[in-house]
Each structure stands twice: as structure tokens, then as C-alpha cells.
Chains A and B, each alone.
Chain A
Amino acid sequence: MSQLSVRHLLGIKHLTNKDLQLIFQTADNFKDVINRPIKKVPSLRDVTIANVFFENSTRTKLSFELAEKRLSADVINFSSTGSSVKKGETLLDTVNNILAMKVDMVVIRHSSPGAPHFLAKHIRANIVNAGDGTHEHPTQALLDTFSIREKLGGVEGKKVVIVGDILHSRVALSNIFALQKLGAQVMVCGPNTLLPKYIEQLGVKVELDIDKALAWCDVANVLRIQLERQQIKYFPSLREYSLYYGINRSRLDALDKPITIMHPGPINRGVELHSDVADSEHSIILEQVENGVAIRMAVLYLLAGAEVEQ
């Protein structure tokens, strides 16, 4: 018998190595479940979960919804477009109204960093952070490290480079925390303007040359350029970025060993990743998506179980 050390999944920062191992072990079992003829288990049949998305999402939202349905939870979906948020309702009011409908768990995505933390302080339901601004995206980091564990047999001692828009990426920060807690070495690589100041204080290596970074690593986690979050121009053009940092076949062929390519999606083909790499045998992008459902089932199951009835 075991449980997580937290009641909410707000970020990887608050988890322990033991928590991560427990989530992985549970996800192993759920991965087995979702590959059966009948992919559903009745564990969460008396739990209602609200997916509250204040920001666009395809993969994460579908993945959470599928995970919830596979666990037999009741699901309600909320997206800020077309809702009363446009009429001036505050975040707390919106969520409290949803909770008044007797909801047990809230999965929230919000453009403001810390929004899930704010909710966790004010409401009783279990909160799962599905991405808060440029801060954290814990389930993505969990599924990324779970996929590395599956592909390479473990995370400890592996060298992982995170390439691209580190400055605006919540995936990068959560991945750095998760990889370090699991004992991997982490490097970030990108144009100077897209690397946060003082990032090396997190204990990561910094490299500006993509070819050197690829030669060093076992796994490259390639991030999207988040144009929607960039208020100013950080590099001259996407074409130039692609020339200097885009990963293509010839860059990989120049290496003396095969490396694993990951991407949290959505991919901008021809910018950070070329099609000949994205669709190659070294890419585990679609495995990441499959593992996402298993990881989210594990997180929801473990958090729901922590709630003691009466």
C-alpha cells in the first residue's frame, strides 16, 4: 500500500523520487489495461472530474478526457471560450460554481503561472495542473520520462537535451525537475534569447550549438517555438531558426550513435523538426501520446485514492 506525498499535482517540483516511481509503476499497469480488448476499469466510478481549460489544447485535453473515461469517472468539460469568463467572472468564482455541482477533482489549464496553486489553496477538490502559463506541465514531464524509461530501460544516468524555446516552455521546466529527480543529466540548447537568464542555477548544462548538443545526448526532447507567447522578436526569422536549430536527417546522420527524438507536440514540421526525423524509427512521438493516457490514469487514480471518505 502506498500513496503520493501530495494531495494535488501542481508541479513536479513538489514530488519526490518515490512519488515518481509509484506513478510509473501504476502507469505500467494502466498501459496494460488500455491494450486489452476491454480498455475500461471501474475504479473511479463514483468520482466526478471537471476539465477546466482556459487555454487551447488538443492532446492534453483529449488525453485527460480519455484517461478519465477509461477509469469510469464522470467528466464535465469547460473551456473559457463561449463561457461566462467573457462576461467578467473571476477564476475562483468560475471554479466554485463548478464545484457547487459536486465535483471531486479539477484538471486545470490556465495561461497564468500559479493559477492551479491559487485554486488548491481555496477549494477542497484535488487539483491537477494541466499546464499553467510558462511555469509547469507536470503530466507532460511524467509521460516524457516514462517514455524514456520504456525506450532506454531507465532514466538514471541518461543524457537528455531539451532543444528550443526554453524561455516560454512549461514543458522544459517540468522536464528538468523530473529528469533531475530521476538521476538524468540535463542540457538545454537554443538561441541565447530563448534561454532564461540564470538557467544554469537549476543544475543544467547550457549549449548554444545544436550539433554539439546532439553529439552529447542520448535523447533530444525538441520543443515548439511558442510564437503565441512571444511579445517581441527573439530571432530574425523562422527560416533562420530552422537552419540553425532545426533537426533534420543530415544532422542525425553526422552523429556516431542513434539518439531518441521526442516532441511534446504540436510539431511545426520543417521548423524545429523535419519530417524525415519526426517520422523516423528513432522518434517516439506517438509512443509519448499513448503513454500520456496511461500516465494520466495513474495520476488521477492515485490522487483520487488519497481522498478519504468521511
Chain B
Amino acid sequence: MREPFEPVIVGFLCNWCAYAGGDLAGVSRLQYPPNMRAVRVMCSGMVHPDMVVDTLSKGADGVLVMG
């Protein structure tokens, strides 16, 4: 039997807002699905477009750039 589809998402999280927001979500115990793997960056503007394409071509089902 096929396993239900669980997407693998790579998130690029800005250290100052999205990553801090992730921390706050933790402190507030906001529950969300465990499908994302976060890469902390110093600014979402640091994420090169090539990196997004590269991530998808390496098998990620989605990319989140948050900042």
C-alpha cells in the first residue's frame, strides 16, 4: 500500500523575524505539521534564486522563504 503523501518542505527562515516567529510559536505551543526543515539565514534576502531551484531539483516538494 502506498503511504499517504507527506510533502518535504525546506524553509529559509530569516533570523530576525520568521525564525524568531518559529521560536515564539514554540513558546506559545502553536501546533503545526512536522514537514518543514528550517535553514536559518540572516535575512530572507540572502536566499539566492538558484538555491530555491536547486532545493526543488534535489527532491523537496516545496520551498518556503519567510522573512
Is this pair of chains taken from one and the same complex?
no
